[in-house]
């Protein structure tokens, strides 16, 4: 049973089509990446999923039922920018959000403290939100979205404003939630994060679905013509007739092979003049797949 | 439904706590009545000292008449004027004398001069020449004093004794009584009107300020992502209703503080000493209850208006630009003040009372006008 399903939804603002006939679904325990450049329709799609706006056509189903506001009590939402009351203290803010989702004050307070400890912000619970850094505010926003233990977690650019340490903390928490069976959708234009975390993706550009489905399967559909080499010595092998394109970063080379090229032949050529530490045929990155898919016509 | 009410209550509570804990709440609670008190004191002082300390010359063709007019002007202690009797060098007044007096005014030797002529049929003609023709308080004082002086002089000319003239011209104070619920009772129209006027002003300020606060709050949430988080949690109706109740409760709290402070001051010895006699202040329970009722109604109307504006506008600056339009009913209500005071039951006043944006102010002014 999909936790959320978009069935051919279209949304236009005046003459601009923000989302065009978009369909995908997310299963419990799935980490789903909604990808696309800025202005591609990610936020518009999310807003329709949580009932802020409504599609012009198509259907949205939450928990295998047509969309109703009552279903939103099972959804946690983290917006792209901070959606916090600046003058409120952190604990009050979290309790307020928890209570809005139906928790008692005591319950909300206890959960806020537990989450604050987990996210390493328990020392700031009695500070006003405006006194905290952007990263801290992002963590508060993250906790606010999870206070009521939602089954579907929707996060719009969750890693923005976070330093690498806190980004890792957030990633680990998301993986824990996934292991608990929560369905997680996050939108981002950072393809590397999606590649690392997501099982499935929907890649959209100018409101249209460009690629969608299981990430591994998508990647398997592309040729392994990428080669990463680490070497020391003569780099003249980079002019080999087997290579279509090569970038050499002082002993670290990223190579694209020609169609039908023989990688073993290239390895022999390289080994003749250089000491090889690494020679790996890799699948194309999501970013490369995206560029191929949109033909370099992204809006961003 | 229950969840909806619960969310509305939570949102109202949050708005209320944020409102009453804010610096602006503390500042306006103290400063707003202070500002009003200052305005009233300034108005009182300016009216008290308006048209005072004038140096005036009186020119007539009769020294006795000039002295009578001089006496009448000097008798007005509030005027605190200096009055010279102009002695024409040639006995009778000539255009040369007038030119000499004009020259004195031009050189600021005197503030103005009263020129009284008698026609062939015995009728008087008066002119008052001064540097400022808009000094209506002085003009009014001189006109009254000159008329009284001429009347006294004429009575004396007809053979009345000075004591008899004094007795006849002794002013009689007018007491105002009000017929309320079929019974007459002594009323102090001036203080009743000023207290109602003050309450109408306070009502205007609070309903406008808190109405605008609602609009501002809508814009703030709309321009940040709080609005998205809230809409993913609560219904838009609950969000707006909670906001209206919360911000309105902040206004009611402020009014409750003012009323409590006013009550304490009214019963304190300090104010009792100051507000005696014709300045004795009476605010009835009826006015207190109606003040709260009209605040709730006025605030609801204004906040609905500003919330609607907030929903369509993009910034607080834009909202600010619309504020003068929303203030039109306020100007209209205060613009009707002379009609309301002269006839609080007139057709136009009744119509204005029934026009919701004007109702709170017009009704308070009507209450004040009825004493």
* Angle of helix B23-49 versus helix B189-223 axis, rounded to 10: 150
Contact B14 A101 (CB under 8 A): no
At B142, is the secondary structure helix, strand, or coil? helix
Cβ contacts (< 8 Å) between B234 and chain A: which residues?
Answer: 100
Selection from B206, B241, B217 nearest residue B12 by Cα:
B241
**How close A142 comes to chain B (CA, Å)?**
11
The predicted pLDDT at position B46 comes to 73
Per-state percent for chain A, helix, strand, coil, to nearest 5: 35, 30, 30
Contact B234 A50 (CB under 8 A): no
Cβ contacts (< 8 Å) between B232 and chain A: which residues?
Answer: 50-52, 72, 75, 77
- The strand order across the sheet containing A16-26 reads A16-26, A4-13, A57-62, A65-66
The predicted pLDDT at position B7 comes to 92
Cα torsion A120, A126, A131, A135 to 10°: value is 20
The pLDDT confidence band at residue A300, using thresholds 50, 70 and 90, is very low
The pLDDT confidence band at residue A252, using thresholds 50, 70 and 90, is very high
pLDDT at B252 over 80: yes
The predicted pLDDT at position A96 comes to 95
Q: What is the mean pLDDT of residues A252-278?
A: 90
**How close A172 comes to chain B (CA, Å)?**
24
Q: What is the CA radius of gyration of chain A?
A: 23
Residues A15-47: pLDDT tens digits?
Answer: 889 999 999 999 999 999 998 888 889 989 999
The predicted pLDDT at position A243 comes to 92
Higher local confidence (pLDDT), A267 or B40: A267
**How close A244 comes to chain B (CA, Å)?**
47
Cα torsion B38, B40, B41, B46 to 10°: value is 120
Contact A77 B228 (CB under 8 A): yes
| Contact (Cβ atoms closer than 8 angstroms) between residue B66 and residue B86 | yes
The predicted pLDDT at position B189 comes to 66
Contact A72 B233 (CB under 8 A): yes
The predicted pLDDT at position A283 comes to 83
Residues B284-320: pLDDT tens digits?
Answer: 777 788 888 888 888 888 888 888 888 888 888 888 8
Q: What is the mean pLDDT of residues A254-264?
A: 88
Contacts of residue B236, defined as CB under 8 A and 6 or more positions apart, other chains included, come to: none
Give the integer Cα–Cα distance in Å for A274 and A237: 9
The pLDDT confidence band at residue A86, using thresholds 50, 70 and 90, is confident
Tokens of residue B120, six digits: 């062939």
Establish if B228 touches chain A: CB-CB under 8 angstroms. Answer: yes
Q: What is the mean pLDDT of residues B14-35?
A: 86
Cβ contacts (< 8 Å) between B228 and chain A: which residues?
Answer: 47, 50, 52, 77, 79, 83
User: Which A residues, 42 through 101, put their C-beta within 8 Å of a C-beta on chain B?
Assistant: 47, 50-52, 69, 72, 75, 77, 79-85, 87-88, 96-97, 99-101
Identify the helix (H) or strand (E) that includes residue A31. strand A31-35
Tokens of residue A237, six digits: 């092998």
Candidates A83, A92, A158: best to mutate against B (most CBs of B within 10 A) is A83
Burial category of A26 from C-beta neighbours within 10 Å (exposed 0-12, middle 13-18, buried 19 and up): buried
User: In the predicted model, what is the mean pLDDT of chain B?
Assistant: 83
Tokens of residue B337, six digits: 């003040």
Contact A97 B233 (CB under 8 A): yes
**How close B219 comes to chain A (CA, Å)?**
13
**How close B254 comes to chain A (CA, Å)?**
20
Give the integer Cα–Cα distance in Å for B295 and B202: 10
**DSSP notation for B158-192:** TT--HHHHHHHT---PPPPEEEETTEEEE--HHHH
Higher local confidence (pLDDT), B227 or A183: A183
The predicted pLDDT at position B274 comes to 53
Residues B174-218: pLDDT tens digits?
Answer: 777 766 667 776 666 666 677 777 788 888 888 888 888 888 888
Cβ contacts (< 8 Å) between A79 and chain B: which residues?
Answer: 225, 228-229
Q: Which residue of A83, A97, A144 is in closest CB contact with B228?
A: A83
The predicted pLDDT at position A153 comes to 95
The predicted pLDDT at position B159 comes to 87
């Amino acid at each position: 049973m999909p936790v959320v399903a978009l069935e051919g939804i279209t949304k236009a603002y005046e003459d601009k089509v923000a989302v065009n006939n978009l369909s995908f679904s997310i299963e419990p325990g799935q980490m789903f990446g909604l990808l696309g450049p800025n202005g591609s329709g990610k936020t518009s799609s999310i807003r329709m999923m949580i009932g802020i706006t409504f599609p012009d056509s198509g259907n949205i189903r939450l928990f295998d039922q047509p969309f109703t506001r009552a279903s939103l009590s099972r959804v946690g939402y983290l917006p792209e920018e901070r959606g916090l009351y600046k003058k409120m203290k952190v604990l009050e803010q979290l309790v307020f959000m928890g209570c809005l989702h139906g928790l008692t004050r005591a319950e909300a307070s206890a959960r806020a403290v537990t989450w604050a400890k987990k996210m390493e912000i328990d020392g700031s619970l009695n500070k006003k939100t405006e006194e905290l850094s952007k990263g801290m505010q992002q963590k508060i926003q993250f906790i606010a979205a999870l206070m009521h233990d939602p089954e579907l977690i929707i996060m719009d650019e969750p890693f923005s404003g976070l330093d690498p340490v806190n980004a890792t903390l957030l990633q680990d928490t998301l993986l824990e939630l996934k292991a608990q069976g929560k369905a997680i959708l996050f939108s981002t234009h950072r393809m590397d994060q999606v590649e690392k975390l997501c099982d499935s993706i929907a890649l959209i550009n100018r409101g249209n679905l460009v690629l969608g489905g299981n990430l591994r399967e998508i990647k398997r559909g592309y040729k392994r013509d990428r080669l990463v080499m680490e070497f020391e010595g003569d780099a003249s092998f980079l002019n080999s007739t087997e290579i279509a394109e090569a970038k050499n970063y002082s002993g670290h080379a990223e190579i694209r092979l020609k169609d039908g090229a023989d990688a073993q032949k290239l390895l022999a050529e390289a080994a003749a003049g250089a000491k090889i530490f690494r020679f790996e045929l890799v699948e194309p990155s999501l970013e490369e797949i995206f560029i191929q898919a949109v033909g370099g016509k992204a809006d961003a | 439904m229950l969840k909806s009410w619960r969310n509305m209550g939570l949102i109202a509570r949050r708005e209320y706590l944020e409102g009453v804990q804010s610096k602006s709440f503390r500042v306006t609670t103290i400063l707003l009545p202070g500002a009003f008190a200052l305005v009233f004191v300034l108005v009182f002082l300016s009216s008290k000292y308006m048209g005072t300390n004038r140096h005036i010359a009186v020119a007539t063709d009769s020294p006795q008449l000039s002295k009578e007019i001089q006496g009448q002007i000097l008798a007005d202690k509030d005027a605190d004027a200096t009055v010279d009797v102009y002695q024409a060098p040639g006995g009778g007044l000539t255009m040369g004398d007038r030119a000499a007096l004009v020259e004195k005014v031009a050189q600021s030797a005197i503030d103005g001069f009263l020129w009284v002529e008698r026609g062939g049929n015995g009728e008087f003609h008066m002119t008052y020449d001064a540097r400022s023709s808009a000094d209506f308080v002085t003009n009014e004082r001189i006109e009254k004093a000159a008329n009284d002086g001429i009347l006294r002089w004429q009575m004396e000319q007809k053979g009345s004794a000075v004591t008899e003239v004094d007795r006849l011209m002794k002013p009689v104070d007018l007491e105002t009584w009000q017929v309320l619920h079929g019974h007459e009772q002594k009323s102090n129209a001036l203080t009743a009107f000023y207290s109602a006027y003050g309450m109408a002003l306070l009502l205007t300020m609070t309903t406008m300020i808190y109405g605008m606060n609602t609009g501002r709050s809508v814009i703030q949430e709309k321009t940040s992502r709080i609005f998205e988080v809230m809409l993913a949690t609560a219904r838009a109706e609950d969000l707006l209703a909670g906001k209206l109740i919360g911000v309105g409760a902040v206004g009611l709290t402020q009014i409750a503080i003012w009323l409590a402070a006013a009550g304490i001051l009214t019963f304190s010895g300090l104010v009792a000493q100051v507000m005696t006699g014709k300045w004795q202040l009476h605010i009835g329970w009826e006015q207190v209850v109606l003040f709260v009722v009209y605040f709730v109604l006025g605030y609801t109307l204004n906040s609905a208006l500003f919330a609607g504006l907030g929903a369509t506008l993009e910034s607080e600056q834009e909202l600010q630009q619309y504020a003068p339009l929303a203030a039109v009913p306020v100007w209209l209500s205060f613009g009707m003040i002379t009609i309301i005071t002269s006839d609080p039951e007139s057709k136009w006043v009744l119509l204005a009372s029934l026009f919701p944006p004007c109702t709170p102010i017009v009704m308070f002014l009507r209450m004040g006008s009825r004493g």
